Amino acid sequence: MLFKVNINKREGYFYFLFEHKSYASKDIAFQLLKYMIEIWDSKIKKEGTNELPIIIPFVIYHGKDNWNIKTTLGEMINGYEELPKDIKKHVPNYEYWYESKI
């Protein structure tokens, strides 16, 4: 579900991904990134704009096991945490918001 909202006086979006799998998906940060890119791509193509709205990805998990998945894209990238700060700034990273309902 995608909701248009006002974030800091600008158009933005809350993107809710309802996790219906029976297990916690280890690639959820990557999956969310793909969805965010699709949303941004659609905005660029439909509106002819180069300004992208803020998207806050939010996962609601209701599987049987505890959610023990890392919440940042950087944690999926091998060696990201050991990178020097001046290199890290060139590698995409974000943290998604999640709620676990077990």
Place of tokens 């809350």: 14
Q: Amino acid letter at 87? A: I
- Report pTM: 0.80
Taking only the tens place, the pLDDT of each residue in 21-74 is 556 788 999 999 998 899 899 989 998 988 888 888 888 887 777 888 889 999
Taking only the tens place, the pLDDT of each residue in 49-58 is 888 888 888 8
Q: How far apart are alpha carbons 31 and 59 in whole angstroms?
A: 11
Domain positions in the chain are 2-100
DSSP string across 43-102 = HHHHH--SPPPEEEEEEEE--SS------BSGGGSTTGGGS-HHHHTTS---B-EEEE--
